[in-house]
Chain A
Amino acid sequence: GQNIDQPTEMTATEGAIVQINCTYQTSGFNGLFWYQQHAGEAPTFLSYNVLDGLEEKGRFSSFLSRSKGYSYLLLKELQMKDSASYLCAVIDSNYQLIWGAGTKLIIKP
């Protein structure tokens, strides 16, 4: 079966750095997305990785290792507004999007 694992919940301190991990086992791979979803709102697109390595976009970076079936989202200089759920999603060989259950990130002052 197809599976995406990410921690259910994480807590971090304002101003700090946090890394949210995602491991996947899917039938093929055509890319990995990270989305942010605030409570009661729709998801918003954060990043896309299809090749190995690190993609940096401001305070957010996303890393991919296809051989390990592993990605992480790195959030720097955390702000209170970063409190949200972070969803990892993988495109499989049929171009179906497989969603992780999301990681709820709690930022404390």
Chain B
Amino acid sequence: GAVVSQHPSRVICKSGTSVKIECRSLDFQATTMFWYRQFPKQSLMLMATSNEGSKATYEQGVEKDKFLINHASLTLSTLTVTSAHPEDSSFYICSARVGEGQPQHFGDGTRLSIL
């Protein structure tokens, strides 16, 4: 149980392109989903927290107009990196949890490379 699917697993695209990443909880309803970014050999960095039907809460330093998050249902959240640039190249990982105090379950991550 507690499977989270993230798609696509890898994206390579040109600078200026917008990229959409999907995160789905397959066998449970996720009241909250999280988006992380991780650079090589560095710790997970929380970007934003999204609750179904409400606006995402962004961490300090994360541009909400650049990283658009939509949590349209209890099983789907999307992250759109708008007008991506090479410095946005990173490993993006989503997670989902059933409720407060419950573990976060992670998707497989999306490796984004902007040329």
A interface residues, Cβ below 8 angstroms from B: 30-31, 33, 40-45, 48, 50, 87, 91, 95, 97, 99, 101-102
- From the candidates A33, A40, A95, A102, name the one contacting B103 in the complex (CB within 8 A): A33
Contact B109 A101 (CB under 8 A): no
Contact A42 B106 (CB under 8 A): yes
The prevalent SS among residues of A at the interface is loop
Contact A42 B109 (CB under 8 A): yes
The prevalent SS among residues of B at the interface is loop
B108 within 8 A of A: yes
Most A Cβ at <10 Å: residue of B103, B106, B108:
B103
Contact A45 B105 (CB under 8 A): yes
- Chain A residues lying within 8 Å of B108, measured Cβ to Cβ, are 41-42
B93 within 8 A of A: yes
Given contacts A99-B43, A101-B43, A102-B43, contact A48 B109 (CB under 8 A): no
Contact A30 B43 (CB under 8 A): no
Whole-angstrom distance from the CB of B36 to the nearest CB of chain A? 9
A-B contact pairs, 8 of them (CB 8 A): A30-B101, A31-B101, A33-B103, A41-B108, A43-B93, A87-B44, A91-B100, A102-B43
Given contacts A87-B44, A99-B43, A102-B43, contact A42 B93 (CB under 8 A): yes
- Chain A residues lying within 8 Å of B106, measured Cβ to Cβ, are 42-45
Cα–Cα, bound, A89→B106 (Å): 14
- Chain A residues lying within 8 Å of B46, measured Cβ to Cβ, are 97, 99
Contact A48 B103 (CB under 8 A): yes
- Chain A residues lying within 8 Å of B109, measured Cβ to Cβ, are 41-42
- Chain B residues lying within 8 Å of A101, measured Cβ to Cβ, are 43
Cα–Cα, bound, A91→B46 (Å): 14
Cα–Cα, bound, A30→B106 (Å): 20
Cα–Cα, bound, A99→B37 (Å): 13
- Chain B residues lying within 8 Å of A45, measured Cβ to Cβ, are 2, 103-106
